[in-house]
Chain A
Amino acid sequence: MAYCVRCGVELAASEKKCPLCGTPVVPPELPETEGIPPYPIQEKRNTEPNRSKGILFILTMLFLLPISVVFLSDLQINDAITWSGFAGLAILLLYVIIVLPFWFQHPNPVIFVPIDFAAIGGYLLYICLATGGNWFLPFAFPLTGSILLVVTAALALIKYVRRGHLYIAAGLFFATGGIAVLTEFLLSRTFPVTKTIFWSTYPLIACFLTGAILIVIAICRPLRESFRKRFFL
């Protein structure tokens, strides 16, 4: 006979731990008894996901329908793919970003965010080629790539590193400031409007200051406690 030290209830002989709080109960002086469990032990866990895939099929159909309609209309009217490429691929992009992750039982953002960025990059490449532009390689590709790196790194750190979220946030602010400067640099190189770095210094300074404040808060424990006390939700 064993009692749970936390709940005070007596545990049936079949219970290895308290079913109410999970506390293991092994009376050291008593030989371990093997009571008959009240239900047969489940030999194989049912791994079938409990989530309905039906709704995903319906959503996929809802996305496929307008894609086919725009392509068919364009072909019917113009005998070629003209505007429908932009519209159809935009809907496809939306599908990849919104619906695709739900096909997986545990979608991992560290995997799906790069996939989303790759899709965005592909769409931009299509627009660039279709409009005869020359901005993908010098502008869109490096900018999308650097945002991808920053976002994925931040997600991976938040997901897999349990502590130091203030440092991660500070790093994200520094990187955001850097991306603002990079954007202006790439813009001025690809589309020569101005030759100097001008507006990006404002977000850079703001991001740098915010990042620096976060690091100070992260380092200084009393300050952190004081903030927590005043701003808890």
Chain B
Amino acid sequence: MERKLRWMKLDNAAKIYPAAKRRKWNNLFRLSATLTEPVDTETLQAALDRTVLRFPSIAVRLRRGMFWYYLEEIPKAPNIQPDTAYPVARMPFDDIRQCAFRVLYYQNRIAVEFFHALTDGNGGLVFLKTLLAEYLTQKYKISVPAVQGVLDRDAPPREEEIEDSFLKYEGEISRSRKEATAFRLDGTPETDGFLNIITGILNTDEVLTEAKKRGVSLTVFIASVMILSIQQIQDRQIHRRKKQKPIKILIPVNLRNMFESSSLRNFVLFVTPGIDPRMGEYTLDEILRSIHHQMGEELTPKKMAARISANVKPEKSWWVKLPPLFVKNFLLKMVFNSIGERKSCLTLSNLGAVKVPEIMAPFLSRMDFVLGTQATRPNNCGILSYGGKLYINFIRNIKEPSLEREFFTALRKLGLHVTVESNQR
């Protein structure tokens, strides 16, 4: 009997992504795992065929309705593909309408690239871990328990995994979304669409010790060094302090840590802590203190609920519901272009310490998280730690690695050991 394919509305955060698409840009992110042995492609395809059945909200394609886009389950898993010279290569919109994620392999590495409308980093990580568990089960005949973010492939999908948790945790009042425009990093665009990636590998304990010494979390520490680096770049580009712009970093926040949710769909909001260099040059300690307090002030369930409400309310209005999709797309794109990326210099997304079931660990040597670039801002940064190493992946669509150089040399000056690798041509 033919399987009945589910369909679902896009979650609240996902609605902007199809509308914001451009001819040469879609919002993608990648999660990858490096194994200790080369990837067996046949086993990987078989593992994927089985895994997709467990993820009806991720193994989907994007379809057009009259008023909204929606997601529809795909009848069978896509074919795995060899990896390309750069990650998160453009996924044409026609492809997204066939299948909105792809699985890639290269040497020992398995990577999954998702269109952001499907899920966020945490949902993606659950998918990757479950795929790896299935792969290792089939390849090495081990039995991987359904713990540490690995789902039971034999169990049916649960309803709470595909819910839109934003609608569940909407607050009573909405908070204003008004923010100042941030400094824009710039450079010479890569004319052929090549995306440069530089990965910095650090010892997680070393970085944690350095962060704890200063009384802040690892994310605050990394964000502060990033802001310091951007401040130096802005100082070189704009000499008059009065003319400088605020430096802000967009940091996604996993709402599952604040609200009870098992959703595998988008359930993140963001905070944009930063400094205003017009007030004077900030030292690292000043930045650390400021960012630490800004994050502490923002990251409360009440404030987040009010932010969720600000995002969800418009979606419920008939004025927004009634116009046909092409009108909505036009308006959403205008909003995205005029506001979307102007409020921060770049996104810094930290997935934290990735843990896998003990039995899987000997087969995995490394994991990486790569964000796609934004539509108009050239840099982005994805971070995770695995096996005692912190992997900081910088992506950029410009030629000059100015930010990366400032950032990693700043870490070196703090006495941290950094190993870098890249896909430079």
Contacts and interface: CB of A to CB of B under 8 A. Distances in A.
A50 B420 contact: no
B301 to A, nearest CB: 39
B101 to A, nearest CB: 19
Interface of B: 23-24, 82-87, 106-107, 189-194, 197-201, 401, 404-405, 408-409, 412, 417-425
B423 A38 contact: yes
Summarize A's interface: helix, strand, loop or mixed: loop
A167 B266 CA distance: 63
A50 B421 contact: no
Contacts of B84: 39-40, 42
Contact of A39 (B86, B192, B417, B418): B86
B39 to A, nearest CB: 13
A78 interface: no
A14 B424 CA distance: 10
Contact of A7 (B24, B83, B408, B424): B408
Given A9-B200, A42-B194, A48-B192, 13 more contacts: A7-B405, A9-B418, A11-B421, A20-B198, A20-B401, A21-B401, A39-B83, A39-B86, A40-B84, A42-B85, A45-B425, A46-B193, A47-B192
A172 to B, nearest CB: 29
Nearest to B32: A38
Contact of A52 (B23, B82, B87, B423): B23
A49 B24 CA distance: 11
Contacts of B412: 7-9
Contacts of B420: 9-12, 15, 18-20
Contact of A11 (B405, B409, B419): B419
Nearest to A42: B85
Interface of A: 7-12, 14-15, 17-21, 36-42, 45-50, 52, 105
The 9 A-B pairs of least Cβ separation, nearest first, read A42-B85, A19-B422, A12-B421, A20-B405, A46-B192, A39-B423, A10-B419, A8-B412, A9-B418
A48 B409 CA distance: 35
B423 A9 contact: no
Nearest to B107: A36
Given A19-B424, A39-B83, A39-B197, A50 B408 contact: no
Contact of B87 (A9, A39, A45, A46): A39
Nearest to A41: B85
B405 A21 contact: yes
Contacts of B87: 39
B77 to A, nearest CB: 23
A96 to B, nearest CB: 25
B392 to A, nearest CB: 12
B185 to A, nearest CB: 15
